[in-house]
Amino acid sequence: MQGLPGGTLRFRPPAEDYCTWKRWKTTECCVAPILTGSTLIGCLWTDKERKFRAEAVFAVVLNTPTIRAGKTRFQDARHGVKPSVMQRFKPNDAVFILPKYAHLYSGNSAVVISVTEDPFRPMFNEYALEFPDGAIAKLFEFQVIEDVPHYKTFVASVLFDSRRQMAVMGVRGEPSSGGQIILQTPGFHLDMRIRANKTTASIMGQVFRRGAKGLLRDLDVSLLKEGMPITNTISDTLGVFKFSHVPRGSLNTLVVIPQYSSRILGAFLI
């Protein structure tokens, strides 16, 4: 594929081992991913006439053999989850610093003042940010998510992790293969049940408002890896959300609760 940016691009078929994301047009599908190192930056597409073309789509780190997307993936980007395109933010956009990096800076929220794009490694797009106290810092694409006006983002802490309990009790086996994790904020609990194999996991969870009896329904729930959204769904009428084929590793969950103009941002490990 001459004319593609970068000298390290390569194709690694079969595509189903790496990318099963398909366009809504059923006549077009991805037949091979385009990678730089371990970063997926695009796909080689074929149409009904079997004509091939390369196209940049999104950027995620491939730590597992398969990336899958459900019907609800990226349907709603209104509350802080944008599809992982080459550059998500522009000057004057508000961003929220992921918790694992926020302690290095003067606050969790900032405003973009300039952007330096990396055309070959989109995760390393660099944003110059201004914090409320006037401090300036530079962060990369994978360190920030969108901040939403009029919404309060609460960073959740781990209230309970059954795998830690098993380790403390000396239970034999592989504690990371599944279990229960409860994340908490001052007003909400996020309860997740996890089942995992060697490469992927499935997650089922609910969000509860502390001290309230009613269910929180129709919540927008997203999973992020290295700051990049990898899948998204809406909780059902019982407030239950489900994910399957989730890559193992360090993840963030972002739950939007429009009833209370709130978002929950938590971190956990599978």
CATH classification of the domain holding 239:
2.60.40
How confident is the model over 203-227, as a mean pLDDT? 94
Residue 72 lies in a domain: no
Residue 183 lies in a domain: yes
The Cα 129–Cα 135 span in angstroms is 8
* pLDDT of res. 76: 42
How confident is the model over 262-270, as a mean pLDDT? 96
Nearest-Å Rg of the Cα atoms of the chain is 19
Banded model confidence at residue 38, pLDDT cuts 50, 70, 90: very low
Tokens of 180: 């229960």
How confident is the model over 167-182, as a mean pLDDT? 67
Residue 66 lies in a domain: no
CA distances from 2 to 6, 31, 45, 54 (A): 10, 18, 15, 10
Chain-centroid distance, C-alpha 230: 4
Determine whether 263 is exposed, middle or buried from the number of CB atoms within 10 Å of its CB (0-12, 13-18, 19+).
buried
* pLDDT of res. 173: 53
The answer to whether 46 and 31 are in contact (CB under 8 A) is: yes
Residue 87 lies in a domain: no
What is the number of domains present in the chain? 3
Helix/strand/coil percent split, the chain, to 5: 10, 45, 45
Q: Do 189 and 261 fall into the same domain?
A: yes
Percent share of the chain, pLDDT over 90 = 56
Residue 118 lies in a domain: yes
CA distances from 37 to 3, 62, 246 (A): 18, 9, 21
pTM of the model: 0.68
Side-chain-side CA neighbours of 215 within 13 Å: the count stands at 12
Range of the domain at 170: 152-269
Point out the domain boundary residue: 61, 82, 102.
Answer: 61
pLDDT digit string, tens, across residues 40-81 = 445 554 444 434 444 443 333 333 333 333 333 333 444 555
Q: Do 17 and 114 fall into the same domain?
A: no
Residue 4 lies in a domain: no
Q: Do 185 and 168 fall into the same domain?
A: yes
How confident is the model over 190-215, as a mean pLDDT? 94
